[in-house]
C-alpha cells in the first residue's frame, strides 16, 4: 500500500460495510446485555420460586443476588479464555461463540423447573446457567470493541467504539422496558405462574437470531494480515500482556472502574436512592431512569465523535469535569427541586457518556497481537473488583451521609481527570506504541 493510499484509508469516512459491521456488533451486544441484566428485574420472583418457601426472606434475597453476582465473578475467566483464542484463531469465531454462549443459558433459565419440582437441583442449575452467562459477557464486550476497531479506519475508532458502547447500554434499557411491560400487563400471580419466563425466552430467541446475523460479518483485516505475516503471538498472550504491557493494563483497569462504577451508581443505583432518600414515587424514578439511559447512549456517541477530533487527553479532562458538575447538581438539587428530576437525571446521564471514550484508549493501548487478551484481562478483572465492590462501598457511604453516592461519583470524576492529564503527558510515547498495529485498518 502506497503512503497516499495508506493516508486515505486511515482518514476515509465510514462506508457501507463499516456501518453493517457496527450495526450487527451493536445489536448483538445490546441483546447480550439484555440477557445478562434481565435476571435482576425478576430477582424477587425467581428467589421465591427457586428456594425453599420456609427460609427467611433476607436469606432468600442473599442467595438470589449471590447467583446474580456469580455472573460477574465468572466474567474474568470466560473473557480471558475467549480472548486467548481470539488472539490465536480469529476475532470472528469468538465473537460468534460469545453470543451463542449467552443465548443458550438464557433460553435454559426460561425452561428450568422450579424448587417445587426439582428440589435443590433447581438453584444449582440456575447458578450454572448464570456462570455461563458471565463467561459469555466477559468475552463479548472486549471482543466487540476489538472487532469494530480493527474494521473501521484509524481516525474513526472513537465513533465506532462510542456507538458500540451506546448499543451495549441500550440493552439495559431494553431489559427495563420488557420488565415494565410484563409487570403492567400481567398480574403478580400470572407472573409467578410462568410470566417471568417470557423475558428469558425472548432473550434466548433474540440472541440466536443475532448469532445467525453475525454469520455475515467478515474477519478483521488486521487479524488476516497478522496471519499472513505469521505475526500472531508466539507465547501465551496473557503472559505477554502481564510481562510487557503493565502500563496499558493499569490505564485500562482504571478506565474500566470509571465505566463500571459510573453506570452502576448513576444508572442502576440512583432510582433506589431517589425512592429511599427523597421519597419519590417508584414509577416516576423509573421514567427518569429511562431518560437517563437514553441520554447516556447519546453521550457515548458524542464522546466517540469528540475523541476522534481532539484526542483522549482533552476528552477525559473535559468529560470528567462535566461529570463532576452534573452529578453534584443531580444529587444536591433534586432534593430541593424535584420538579427538575427528569432534566437533572438526563443531564447526569449524558455526562456519564464520557465512558463511551474508554474503549478508544484501551484498543490503542495494546498491540494487535495481544489486543483482545490485554483488553479482556484488564476490563474483566477491573469489572469483577469494582463492579462487585461499588454497590457495597456506596451503601456504606450512604450510611454516613445521604450524599454518599455524590461523593463517590465525584471521586470517580477525579480519577477520570487524572487519567486525562496522564494521557496528555504520556501521549507521544503512547501513540508510537499503539499506532503501528492499527496502521492498516
**pLDDT in the model for residue 426:** 58
Neighbouring CB atoms inside 10 A of 69's CB total 16
Residues 6+ apart with CB under 8 A from 23: none
pLDDT of residue 429: 36
Q: Which residue is associated with the grid cell 456504606?
A: 396
What pLDDT score does 362 carry?
94
CA atoms within 13 A on the CB side of 62: 5
Residue with cell 421514567: 287
CA distances from 223 to 92, 122, 230, 368, 370 (A): 10, 42, 10, 8, 11
Q: How far apart are CA 319 and CA 328, in angstroms?
A: 14
C-alpha cell at 413: 470524576
- Which grid cell sits at 2? 502506497
Cβ atoms of 137 and 68 closer than 8 Å: no
90: left (phi over 0), alpha (psi -120 to 50) or beta: left
Task: Judge contact between 297 and 166, C-beta under 8 A.
Answer: yes
- Taken in order 151, 154, 155, 160, the sign of the CA dihedral is positive
Radius of gyration of the chain (CA): 22
Sign of CA dihedral 428, 440, 360, 369: negative
Q: Give whole-number Cα distances, 394 to 169, 289, 405, 411, 430, in Å.
A: 22, 18, 6, 12, 34
Contacts made by residues 10-15, CB under 8 angstroms, sequence distance 24+: 10/153, 10/154, 10/155, 10/439, 10/441, 11/153, 11/154, 11/155, 12/153, 13/153, 13/156, 14/152, 14/153, 14/156, 14/159, 14/160
Q: Do 87 and 232 touch, CB atoms closer than 8 A?
A: yes
- The residues near 431 (Cβ < 8 Å, ≥ 6 apart) are 364
Find the DSSP H helices in 42-150: 43-50, 57-73, 75-88, 91-111, 115-118, 121-149
What integer pLDDT is reported at residue 430 of this predicted model?
39
Check if the beta carbon of residue 78 is closer than 8 Å to that of residue 383: no
pTM: 0.83
pLDDT for res 417: 95
Query: If you count them, how many residues does the chain have?
Result: 441
How many helices (DSSP H) and strands (DSSP E) are in the chain?
A: 22, 0
Tell me what pLDDT residue 425 has.
67
Chain Cα centroid distance, residue 205 = 21
Domains assigned to the chain:
10-438 (1.20.1250.20)
Q: Retrieve residue 423's grid coordinates.
A: 494521557
For residue 109, the model assigns a pLDDT of 93
Q: What is the residue-level pLDDT of the chain in tens, covering all 441 positions?
A: 444 444 445 566 777 777 888 888 888 788 878 887 888 778 778 888 888 877 787 777 777 777 777 777 888 888 888 887 877 777 778 878 888 888 999 999 999 998 888 888 988 998 899 889 888 888 888 888 888 888 888 888 999 999 999 988 888 889 888 888 888 888 888 988 889 999 999 999 988 888 888 777 777 777 787 767 665 656 677 888 888 899 999 999 999 999 988 988 998 888 888 888 888 887 788 889 999 999 999 999 999 999 999 999 999 999 999 999 999 999 999 988 989 999 999 999 999 999 999 999 999 999 888 898 899 999 988 988 887 678 778 888 888 888 889 999 999 999 999 999 998 865 433 333 343 343 333
Amino acid at each position: 500500500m502506497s503512503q497516499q493510499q495508506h493516508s486515505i484509508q486511515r482518514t476515509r469516512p465510514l462506508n457501507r460495510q463499516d456501518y453493517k459491521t457496527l450495526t450487527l456488533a451493536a445489536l448483538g451486544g445490546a441483546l447480550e446485555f439484555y440477557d445478562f441484566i434481565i435476571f435482576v428485574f425478576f430477582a424477587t420472583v425467581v428467589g421465591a420460586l427457586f428456594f425453599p418457601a420456609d427460609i427467611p426472606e433476607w436469606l432468600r434475597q442473599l442467595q438470589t443476588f449471590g447467583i446474580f453476582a456469580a455472573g460477574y465473578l465468572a466474567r474474568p475467566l470466560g473473557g480471558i479464555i475467549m480472548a486467548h483464542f481470539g488472539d490465536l484463531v480469529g476475532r470472528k469465531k469468538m465473537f460468534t461463540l460469545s453470543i451463542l454462549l449467552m443465548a443458550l443459558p438464557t433460553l435454559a433459565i426460561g425452561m428450568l423447573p422450579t424448587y417445587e419440582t426439582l428440589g435443590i437441583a433447581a438453584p444449582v442449575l440456575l447458578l450454572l446457567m448464570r456462570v455461563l452467562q458471565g463467561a459469555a459477557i466477559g468475552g463479548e464486550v472486549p471482543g466487540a470493541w476489538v472487532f469494530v476497531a480493527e474494521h473501521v479506519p484509524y481516525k474513526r475508532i472513537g465513533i465506532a467504539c462510542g456507538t458500540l458502547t451506546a448499543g451495549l447500554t441500550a440493552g439495559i434499557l431494553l431489559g427495563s422496558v420488557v420488565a415494565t411491560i410484563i409487570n403492567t400487563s400481567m398480574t403478580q400471580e400470572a407472573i409467578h405462574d410462568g410470566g417471568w419466563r417470557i423475558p428469558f425466552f425472548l432473550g434466548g430467541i433474540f440472541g440466536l437470531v443475532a448469532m445467525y446475523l453475525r454469520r455475515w460479518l467478515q474477519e478483521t483485516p488486521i487479524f488476516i494480515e497478522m496471519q499472513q505475516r505469521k505475526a500472531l503471538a508466539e507465547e501465551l498472550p496473557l503472559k505477554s500482556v502481564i510481562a510487557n504491557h503493565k502500563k496499558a493494563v493499569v490505564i485500562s483497569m482504571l478506565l474500566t472502574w470509571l465505566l463500571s462504577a459510573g453506570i452502576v451508581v448513576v444508572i442502576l443505583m440512583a432510582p433506589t436512592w431517589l425512592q429511599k432518600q427523597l421519597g419519590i414515587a417508584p414509577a416516576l424514578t423509573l421514567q427518569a431512569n429511562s431518560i437517563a439511559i437514553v441520554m447516556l447512549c447519546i453521550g457515548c456517541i458524542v464522546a466517540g465523535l469528540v475523541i476522534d477530533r481532539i484526542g483522549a487527553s482533552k476528552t477525559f479532562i473535559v468529560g470528567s469535569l462535566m461529570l463532576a458538575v452534573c452529578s453534584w447538581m443531580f444529587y444536591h438539587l433534586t432534593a430541593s427541586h424535584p420538579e427538575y428530576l427528569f432534566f437533572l437525571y438526563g443531564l447526569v446521564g449524558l455526562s456519564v457518556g464520557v465512558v463511551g471514550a474508554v474503549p478508544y484508549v484501551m484498543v490503542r493501548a495494546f498491540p494487535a497481537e495481544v489486543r483482545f487478551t490485554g483488553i479482556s484481562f484488564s476490563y474483566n478483572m477491573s469489572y469483577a473488583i469494582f463492579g462487585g465492590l461499588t454497590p457495597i462501598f456506596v451503601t456504606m457511604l450512604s450510611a454516613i451521609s445521604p450524599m454518599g453516592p455524590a461523593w463517590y461519583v465525584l471521586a470517580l470524576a477525579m480519577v477520570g481527570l487524572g487519567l486525562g492529564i496522564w494521557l496528555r503527558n504520556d501521549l507521544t510515547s503512547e501513540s508510537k506504541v499503539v499506532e503501528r498495529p492499527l496502521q492498516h485498518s
